[in-house]
Structure formats: structure tokens, C-alpha cells
Structure 1
Amino acid sequence: MPAVPESSWAVDTRRSKLLGRGVLLFILLVQAGLSLRLTGTAFQDEALYVAAGHYELANLLHGTKLPVDFAAYFSGHPKLYPVLAGAVDSYFGLTGVRVVSLLFMLGATALLYALTRRLFNLRAALGAAALFSVLQSTIVLGNFATYDAAAIFLLALSAWAVVRTDRMKAFAVLLAAPPAALAFGVKYASGLYLPTLVVLAVITAHRHRGIRALGRGVVLGTGIAALLGIGYYFSGPLGGISSTTTDRAKGTDTAATMLQHSAEWGGLVFLAALGGTIAYVLRGRMGEMPWIEGETPGRVRRAALGLVLTGTALLAPAYQIHLHTEISLYKHVGFGLFFAAPLAGLGMARLVGPHFRHPQLGILLYVATLVFGMVQAQRAYSFPDSTQMTAYLSTVVDRKGTYLAEEQEVPAYYLRDKTNWTQWQNTYFMDYRGKDGKQYTGPDAFRQAVRDGKFDAIVMHGDVSPVTYQAVKEGLKNNSHYRLAAVFPYTTSSGEHAYRIWVKR
């Protein structure tokens, strides 16, 4: 028999369900508004994945040869999210693809509410959804055309299935395996959270099955592994798994910097989850009826649940500290905070106290998280405005030329009806045999190629590849091949900058 609830908040009456859904709807509307207020032209990653989706679609539908092997360096399978993005972009443009990301993030918040309500109660569920909905990563990914939002939604769907089937037979947990495996395919970094799902399957069933709950974890783990094996067998080589995830090149960012930024982006929610974990371990239920005393059983299980969910928030920062790189950390912290959010919601409920004794404390936590999330999201969503740049380039490019561009994915995406992907040279690496017969590599290759007049147009701003930009400027000095044709200023959160376009005389 289930335990007798201590308050109406813990009873799934029709009134409480309607109340919860009404508040959830308001939370989702706020989340949507915060994401949609962010505007801008395509970011480099967005342009890359959407453009790749068009080429992958042509390959699937018409057998058209791919311009490059996207699977060799993508951090997710190129025939999953990019194909969806390319298809949506064909009809609704970049805005439509971003709206799809918003739907994924809204779905993740709704699933978070559902699983938290089943784990704890309605009050904790509303707190979890409210806090997660205003995080920087949630706001940004809700209007960002990359596969992060889809991966979070699939992980959320898998976590909900794990919690929802906790009282069913062990094999029912296999319902969580397909979305978990698909999340890994969509974004390989999602694999970091698959062990959490397996352990969660054991902990949630332990109160009903005891030691037999271990079998549930084995079933889920085996199911996920089998699906991943089948997918890998049919997908062919996926070099991007090692180059972007398992064997990624190490950077130079310090651990102190990444810890500081991780604390800024999710510290409040993590602290709320930590407080919720401690309170949950000490007492399983909040005593709203003073005449009901005593300790609820299962302290070890409660401690394990809190440790697993709250500890998952540390996985992304820890892994990127290991790699010494902060690339995409502002997005990745959101994956772990999704799992910590149920305990954060519980922490908010305990902070407010029985009978809403201290509502101002819960409001303070929510408003502080909201303000930080809004400001940080606006700063993170500050991309170069490429409108004027691409408009001008459209008048000088064709299908015969060769073009050098910083963040070449952006003009390659917007001008794909006039150019091919392989006509664009990025500014990261280049091998070049000069007209003098010598072989050049790195910055020297860019310098000599510009001196030889290899490119028909050059687009640079110096913010992404400063070393290459300096080499290009040296190659342009006293160079009769090129003229500076246009300068288009733009402003980001880091200051004022400008696109400079040189065209061949």
C-alpha cells in the first residue's frame, strides 16, 4: 500500500493536476518568450549543420555525392539531426529550424515536470520546471539550430520512461532504451549521461523490488548497448566520435576558469539541488502535519538518488576540465543540470517550507536564476550579423571561384544556391603548393596562397582565427591581385568588429 500523504500537494486529485498543468503552462510560456527574444543571423555551428543537412538529404533522396565526409568530424551522426534541420529549412528557413529546437526544449521541461512529480510531488515538480526553464543553456538552446536541444529532449524522454515504469516488470524499462540510444546518435556527448539512466533505473525500482532492481539496470544497459551496436553496424565509420568526443584534442583553458564559468551558468541550481539532496536524505517527506512524526525508511536509497542526480551536473565540467577546453561548455552544463533539476525543485520546496511558510525564499531563488539566465543568454547569443556580408558576396561569387572565409560555413550556407561547399576554404588549416613549387602548411600556406592570388574573394574579421588573419594581411600587403571592396561593421558582446572583404582585381 502506498504511504498516506501528509498534504493535498502530494495527492493526485483532479484539482491538483489542473493546478499543476496550469502553472506548468505559464512556465513554458515564459521559457518560450525568453528564447524567442534572442535574434540573430546563423551562427557558425547552425550554418554547418543545416547546410550539411541539405547535402545529406540530396544524398539520401537522389544519391548525390557528399562534398565532404561529414561523419568524420561531426559530433553527432550527420544523417539524424542535420537531415531533420535541412528538411525543415527547405520549407521554413532558419527560423523554422530554431522553432523545432524550441519545441524540443519545451518538451524537455514538460518531461522534467512529469518525472519529478512521480519521484517526489507536485510542488517539487513545479520548482524543477521553473528553475530549469530559465537557465542560460535552456534559453539559448531553445532558439539554436544545433542538435543539443534534440539530444536533451531524448535524454529527458528516456529518463521519464525510466521513472514511469518503476513499478512495472523489469522488461518494461526497455521503453527507455530507444530514446537513450538515439540521444547518443544525435550527439555523442550524450553518452556521458547513459550511465545515469541505468543507475536511475535501479534506484527508482529498489523501493518496490529490493535487490531484484539490479536486473532492471542490466536490462536497460543491455538494451541501450544492443541498439548502439546495431546502429554502429549499419552506419559505417564514424570518425567524429573520436575526434570530437572520446579522443578530442586538448585545449589550453584552465580548470579555474571553467569552474568559475560553470558556477556562473548553473551554480544556483546546483546549490539548490545540493540542499534538496541533504534535506531529502535527512527526511523523506516534509512534515506539514506536526502530529505526524517519525523517520521514513529508505535513507540509503534517498541518498543514492540524490547523489546520482545531483552529481550528474558535475560530469560535463569535469570532462571538459580533463580536456582543458571550454568549447560548448555553456551548452553542455544544461545536460547535467536537467538531471539535477528534480532535486533542485525539491530543494526549493523545502526552502519555502510547509504550508508555504517562506514563499519569498522560493521567489528569490527563481528570480535570481531568471536574471542570471537572461543576462548570460543574451551575452552567449551575440553572433556577428552577417546580413550585409552575405548580401554583398552574393554579387561576386559563382560556381567557378575559390573563396577564403573566416567561419566559412555561414556564407556557404546562405549562398549555397550560388556556390558549392568545396569552393569555400576555412581559416583553420591549409596545405598549399605555391607557384614557386614549394609546399606550405599552416599560416605560411595562407600567406603564400594570398600572395599568389589563389582566392577570388577573401572574407575576414580576425575574431576566430587571429593567426591566420595576420598571415592573410601580410599576404595582402603590396599585393596587386586584390582590392579591399567592402567593410561591414557589427557589434557583439565582446565589442565592435567588422567584416572585411577583398576581391580579386
Structure 2
Amino acid sequence: MTAIDLLSVYAEPRRPVAVRLRAALADRLPLIAILLVQCALAYRLANTAFEDEALYIYAGHRELGHLLHGVPVGDTYASYFSGIPVLYPVAAAVIDSALGLGGVRAFSLLAMLGATALLWTTTRRLYGKPAAVIGAALFATCAPTLFLSRLATYDAPSVFLLALALWWTVRTAHRSPFLVLLAAPPLVLAAGVKYASALYLPTVVLAAVLTVPALGLSWWRGVLRGVLLGAGTAALLFAGLDAAGAGVRAGLSQTTVNRTTGAEPLSNILRLSLIWGGWVAALAVVGVGVLIVRRRGWAPVLLGALLTGTAALATAYQAHLGTSVSLHKHVGFGLLFAAPLAGAGLAALSGLPPLRDSVPMLRRAVPGVAVGTCAVLAYYAGNAAGPMYGWPDSSGLVAELRPLVHPGQDRYLVEEDEVPRYYLRTQADPSQWLNTYYFQYGDSTGKQLVNLPAYQAAFADGYFDLVVLDDGPTAALDKQLTQALNAPGSRYHQLAHIPAASGHGTQYYTVWQRG
């Protein structure tokens, strides 16, 4: 460039700030529309607190009270939580104190909106704007994303942190390799917030390697980035585990590493995975096929295959455990990585500009096949997310128990005690609540009884002030407990039979009171 050219560049007046802002806004109109649709579909889901939501927020209040005032926690949450109790639960408790359950759920929505926005910019850098529009739309409106957007658990912030780390590895591909180390803290924090997130750390580390040659730079530069990110992440993980203490390490082992396996058929796990994420995964495979056809080196193909294959990790992990519990949430983690390729695949099928094409999206209409496919999948996902949110409405139960629950020595046996315990947390202490998962009781002779015999002996002694059963997780035991409560000479009388709407029809809470 000559001196005259340089002078002409510097002499060129800069566009006014308002003009630049309008241009930036116009460029991001599709993303804004996608985020609005995500909000609208997510807010169609409404219900009282889910068992997990109530447990984590309640635990956060107990942990927060201990941190601020030295109040005993009352439980060893670290031993069975699948995330560090002083991270998400405490943050959720702070929000709950100010804004209630709706505020904590709004926090999850903001996290998932952030993940969608980060996915947009990541996909745009890798595969161009058409792929970014479609990939973000597919991710934002898939059933797991909508569910996590309205669930007050640690899944949503974990997804956001993984999206942040992936975005940074792609964002810094052309810059100093050492900048990739800044992706290590969000990766480790994601694993701390939810241990299962560690399943996706290798994907981000390998993406740090493959992104560089995929964008036309040196393989050695990519390898250096991968080594730096892998070493930094490992160092932070080991330091965090050492600082967290034995309780957290025991919880990590019990809930994630050495979790008890089940016997659910593989066919059912695969079927559910296809229902909740199959379309995105299939389109991602198409995206990998497009990369192969383009024949611009193996690095882009390997990167695409890595991101697409990550969608199968949750299914493989749950198949190993032999259970579909939490599968509807975990599938969403993998879709975060597969969605960019799904966007590229559908863009190719729709006749949109090739990957990394410079034609601005707003200068041409999106072909109907892309719009139609995204609309159909969004409609499907909106309906598929509904049953996920269909646990029993507990408002009637809580209203019935509110005047009956008092602090002191009273004891309340509730099949799923997490929900009323959360709503009535200012009216009773943690030790007053018991559930039907496990119970040990000493009878009049001093003999220690467990489970059914223990409950029967406790009923005979009038040990519980209130008993609530709902034929839920311990339905078989409930029938035996009901017989004992209704037996001649029982010290309990049925106080209420409360209907509760759920996604599987009407469920009933039956309440017995002593006396």
C-alpha cells in the first residue's frame, strides 16, 4: 500500500456510531428473532417446583446460611449431589431470596439464551452465517434446550460455560496460542457445577487443536493449543478436587464416576435419544458429508466429525449406566456441539451459500426448505418438551400442609419431601422431614428396624405427625404403608385426598394426620 493509499484510508470519515449500531443490529436480526422464539416456547412451560429444583435451591439456602451465619447445614449434600453444593445451589438461593423460583428459572433461561448466542457466533466463524442462523435455530428450539431453559437446576449454567469455552477456542484460533488457556476456567467451572459436564471437556480440547488447521493455519499451532488447554484444564481440575475436600470427591464417585447401574434396555435409551435429539444429530451427519464432498483437507472433516460425534456421548454414557434418568437433559449438552454441523448440513440442503461464503444473509431470501424444516422441528420440540415438564402440580398439597407444619419436634413423612420442604422452609427444620426412600427405627424393645417394618412400628407409636403419599417413586411401598395407616386401631386418620394435574393425568396426594 502506497503513502497516498494510506492517506486516503485515514482521510476517509468513520461512519457515525448510530449508523454502525444500526448495521450491527440489522446483521443480528435473525439471532434476535431466534432468541425471542426460544423465550416464547420456553415460557409455555409452567408448573410448581420440580423435585430437583426444590432440592438444590433448598440446599443452597442451607449452605448460604452456614457460610454467612454458621448455621448447621443439616445434611451432607456434597456426598450425593452431582455438582459442588456451594456453587450453583448457593447462587440459586441468592436469586430465590430476591426473586423466588421464577427468578431462578429466569437465570436458567438467560444461561441457555447465552449458549444459543455463543453457538451462533461460533458457527458463523466456522461455517458462515447461513449455517449460524439455522444451527442456532435448531439448538434454541430443540426439546432439551427448552426444558433446561425453564428448569432451575445446574444444567443450564453448565451448558453456557461449555458454550463459552468452545466459543473462545474458535475465537482465538488466529491469535496467540497461549490465549486458549482462558478457556480452561469455564471448562473446569462447568465440571464443578455439574460433574457430568466433564464428559465434554475432551471435545473442547480437541476442538482447540482441529480448529486451527480447519481454518487454514498450521497443524503444529493447533497441537500446541491443545497441549496448553489440556494441561491448564487438568491442573485446575486437580487443584479444584484437592481444595473441594473428601465429601465432594465421594459425591463425584457416587453420582458420576461409579454410579450405580440399572437394567433399562438399550433400545429404549436409543429411542428416547432419537426423540429428543435425533433430527439435529442426523442433520449434523449431513453437515459432515458436505465437508467431505468439499474436499478442502481432513482437518475440517475431523473437526466436524468430532463435534457431531459428541452428540452421542450422553447416549453412550446412559447406555453404560443402563438408565434413561436425566437423559432428556444430558442429550442437550451434546446438541450444543452438533448444532453447528446441523446448521451447515441444512444450509447445504437448502441451497444457501456454501460454507464460509461471504454473501450477506440479509441480501437473499432463505429458501423455504430451511424455514419450513426449522419451523416444523420447533413445533415438534415445543410439544415434546411439554411431557418433560409434566410432574404433579403441588400447589394444592402445599396449601393443605401450610397451616399444619410448625417448627419444633413434629415429624413429617412425605414421599417426595423436597417440594413441600422447599416451599415451607421457614416453617420447619430440615430434621423434621423424612421420606419413603429409606427409614431406620428402633422399636420398644430396642431392636433396629429398616424400611417397611420400621415404618409400621413408627406408625404404631405415632412417631409421625403427618404422612403424605402419592404413589410416585415408591408406589409399591405406598400400598403397604396405606394398609398400615388404614388398619383397625390405627393412630392416623385420612385428612385429605388432593388431586394434582400432571403430564400423565391426575395424580393424588393422600394426607394422614395423627390423632
| CA offset digits 1:261-305 (Å, max 9, x no partner) | 10011111111101111111211xxxxxxxxxxx5x32x112211
In the alignment, what sits opposite 2:261?
250
Rounded Cα–Cα distance in structure 1 between residues aligned with 2:483 and 2:124: 62
Task: Describe the superposition over 1:425-462 as per-residue Cα deviations: whole angstroms up to 9, x where unpaired.
Answer: 11111222223433222333223322332211011101
- Work out the CA distance in 1 between the residues paired with 2:352 and 2:116: 25
Task: Give the aligned residue type for 1:236.
Answer: G
Alignment pair present for 1:77 and 2:84: yes
Equivalent residue, structure 2, for 1:37: 44
Q: Which residue of 2 aligns with 1:485?
A: 495
Cα distance in 1 for residues equivalent to 2:31 and 2:290 = 24
* Deviation, structure 1 residue 359: 1.8
Q: Look up the match of 1:292.
A: none
Please identify, of 170-179 and 365-374, the stretch whose mean Cα deviation from structure 2 is larger: 365-374
**Partners of 2:499 and 2:444 in 1: how far apart?**
34
Contact 1:151–1:186 (8 Å) recurs in 2: yes
Deviation at 1:14, TM superposition (A): 9.1
Deviations 1:339-387 (A, max 9, x none): 0000001011101114679822212321221122111111110121111
CA distance in 1, matches of 2:76, 2:211: 42
When structure 1 is superposed on structure 2, of 398-407 and 256-265 the one drifting more is 398-407
Q: Are 2:396 and 2:500, in contact at CA under 8 Å, matched by a contact in 1?
A: no
1:57 CA displacement? 0.6
Give, in whole Å, the separation in 1 of the partners of 2:479 and 2:455. Answer: 10
> What is the one-letter code of the residue matched to 2:377?
T
Give the 5 Å matches for 1:322-471.
322-354=320-352, 359-399=367-407, 400-471=409-480
Query: Which of these residues, 309, 312, 327, is aligned with residue 311 of structure 1?
Result: 309
Q: Does 2:510 align with 1:500?
A: yes
**CA apart distance, 1:478:** 2.2
Q: C-alpha separation between the residues in 2 aligned to 1:202 and 1:91?
A: 43
Q: Does residue 1:24 correspond to 2:25, yes or no?
A: no
Q: Please give the residue correspondences for 1:96-115 in structure 2 after superposition, counting only pairs within 5 Å.
A: 96-115=103-122
Of stretches 492-501 and 332-341 in structure 1, the one that deviates more from structure 2 is 492-501
Q: What secondary structure is seen at the aligned counterpart in 1 of 2:493?
A: strand
Report the alpha carbon displacement of residue 17 of structure 1 after superposing the two structures with TM: 5.1
Alpha-carbon separation, structure 2, partners of 1:234 and 1:441: 36
State how 1:150-229 maps to structure 2 within 5 Å. 150-206=157-213, 207-229=216-238
Q: Distance in 2 between matches of 1:407 and 1:249?
A: 21
CA distance in 2, matches of 1:222, 1:100: 31
Match of 2:15 in 1: none
Whole-Å separation in 1 of the counterparts to 2:455 and 2:50: 24
Aligned equivalents of 1:365, 1:421: Cα separation in 2: 50
Distance 2:263 2:429 in 1: 34
Superposed displacement of residue 479, structure 1 = 4.2
For residues 213-243 of structure 1, give each alpha carbon's deviation from its aligned partner in whole angstroms, at most 9, with x where no partner exists: 2121111011111111222222212122111
In the alignment, the residues of structure 2 paired with residue 129 and residue 148 of structure 1 have an alpha-carbon distance, to the nearest angstrom, of 19
Are the aligned partners of 1:448 and 1:475 in contact in 2 as well (CA < 8 Å)?
no
What does the per-residue CA deviation read over 1:82-133, in whole Å, with 9 as the maximum and x for residues that have no partner? 0000001001100010000000000000000011011110111111100001
Which residue type is aligned with residue 412 of structure 1?
A: R
Instruction: Please report how far the alpha carbon of residue 211 of structure 1 lies from its aligned counterpart in structure 2 after TM superposition.
Output: 2.7
Normalised by the length of structure 1, the TM-score is: 0.92
How many correspondences in the alignment?
Answer: 480
Distance in 1 separating the partners of 2:454 and 2:400: 27
Distance 1:435 1:481 in 2: 17
- Structure 2 distance, partners of 1:373, 1:153, is 20
Identify the match of residue 101 of structure 2 among 71, 94, 99: 94
Structure 2: how far apart are the matches of 1:123 and 1:331?
27
Give, in whole Å, the separation in 2 of the partners of 1:200 and 1:460.
49
TM-score normalised by length of structure 2: 0.90
Cα deviation for residue 18 of structure 1 reads: 4.1
State the distance in 2 between where 1:121 and 1:224 align: 29
Q: Contact (CA 8 Å) 2:484, 2:490: kept in 1 or not?
A: no
Distance 1:163 1:203 in 2: 10
Contact in 1 for aligned 2:164/2:186 (Cα 8 Å): yes
- Contact 2:396/2:499 (<8 A) preserved: no
- Residue 305 of structure 1 aligns with an amino acid whose one-letter code is L
- Aligned letter for 2:404? V
Partner of 1:9: none
Between the aligned partners of 1:261 and 1:311, the Cα distance in structure 2 is 17
Deviation at 1:187, TM superposition (A): 0.2
**Structure 1 match to 2:17:** none
Q: Which runs of 5+ in 2 are unaligned?
A: 1-19, 354-363
- Separation (CA, whole Å) in 1 of partners of 2:104 and 2:50: 13
Q: In the alignment, is residue 145 of structure 1 matched against residue 152 of structure 2?
A: yes
Letter in 2 for 1:188: Y
Alpha-carbon displacement from aligned partner over 1:313-340 (angstroms, at most 9, x marks no partner): 0000110011001111001000001000
Between the aligned partners of 2:89 and 2:394, the Cα distance in structure 1 is 22
